Amino acid sequence: MADALLRIAGLAKRFGGIVATDDVALDVPEGELHAVIGPNGAGKTTLIAQLSGQLMADSGRIHFAGVDITRTPAWRRSHLGLARSFQITSLFLDHSVLDNVALAVQAHAGHSFRFWRNARLETGLRQKARAALEEVGLAHRADARASLLSHGEHRLLELAMALAGQPRMLLLDEPMAGLGPDESARMVAMLRRLKQRYTILLVEHDMEAVFALADRISVLVYGRVIATGAPDVIRANDQVREAYLGEDDHV
Partner 1 sequence: MSGAITLRNGVIAALLLALALLPLYVQLTGDRFMLTLFSRIVILAIAAVSLNLILGYGGMMSFGHAAYLGIGGYTVAILAFEGVPSAFVQWPAALAASALFALIVGALSLRTRGVYFIMITLAFAQMAYYLASGTARYGGDDGLSLDTRSTFAGLIDLSNKTTFYYVCLVLLFGSILLVWRLTNSRFGMVLQGVRSNEARMRAIGFPTFRYQLAGFVIAGTMCGLAGALIANHTEFVSPSMMFWTRSGDLIVMVVLGGMGTLFGPVFGALALLFLEQFLPAAISTIVHPFNPAGAAKAGEFWQIVLGPLLLVVVLFARGGIDGLLRALSDRAHAQRKRGHG
Instruction: Tell me the closest approach of the beta carbon of residue 45 to partner 1, in angstroms.
Output: 13
Provide the β-strand partners of residue 18: 15
Task: Examine residue 12 and tell whether it contacts partner 1 (CB under 8 A).
Answer: no
Task: Examine residue 75 and tell whether it contacts partner 1 (CB under 8 A).
Answer: yes
Residue 155 DSSP code: H
Residues 109-128 within binding reach of partner 1 (CB under 8 A):
112-120, 122
- The strand ranges marked E within 116-198 are 169-173
Q: Segment contacting partner 1 (CB under 8 A): 8-16, 26-34, 74-82, 236-244?
A: 74-82
CB 192 within 8 A of CB 213: yes
For residue 113, give every residue at least 6 positions away whose Cβ sits within 8 Å of its Cβ, in sequence order, or none. Answer: none
Q: Segment contacting partner 1 (CB under 8 A): 19-27, 76-84, 206-214, 227-235?
A: 76-84
Radius of gyration of the chain (CA): 18
Q: Segment contacting partner 1 (CB under 8 A): 3-11, 95-103, 213-221, 241-249?
A: 95-103
- Across 145-162, b (16+ Cβ under 10 Å) vs e yields ebeebeebbbbbbbbbbb
Q: Segment contacting partner 1 (CB under 8 A): 57-65, 105-113, 177-185, 239-247?
A: 105-113
Instruction: Tell me the closest approach of the beta carbon of residue 246 to partner 1, in angstroms.
Output: 35
Task: Examine residue 90 and tell whether it contacts partner 1 (CB under 8 A).
Answer: yes
The side-by-side arrangement of strands in the sheet containing 6-15 is 18-28, 6-15, 59-64, 67-68
Distance between CA 239 and CA 186 in Å, rounded? 32
For residue 67, give every residue at least 6 positions away whose Cβ sits within 8 Å of its Cβ, in sequence order, or none. Answer: 80
User: Of 14, 18, 71, 73, which lies in the binding site for partner 1, with binding defined by CB under 8 A?
Assistant: 73
Task: Examine residue 166 and tell whether it contacts partner 1 (CB under 8 A).
Answer: no
User: Which is nearer to partner 1, 103 or 217 (by Cβ)?
Assistant: 103
Provide the β-strand partners of residue 220: 225
User: Of 21, 45, 52, 237, which lies in the binding site for partner 1, with binding defined by CB under 8 A?
Assistant: 52
User: Of 84, 126, 154, 155, which lies in the binding site for partner 1, with binding defined by CB under 8 A?
Assistant: 84
User: Which is nearer to partner 1, 71 or 192 (by Cβ)?
Assistant: 71
Closest Cα to residue 201, out of 98, 82, 23? 82
Distance between CA 52 and CA 114 in Å, rounded? 27
Residues that bind partner 1 in the complex, under the rule CB under 8 A: 52-54, 73-76, 78-79, 83-84, 86, 90-95, 99, 102-104, 106-108, 112-120, 122, 161, 164-165
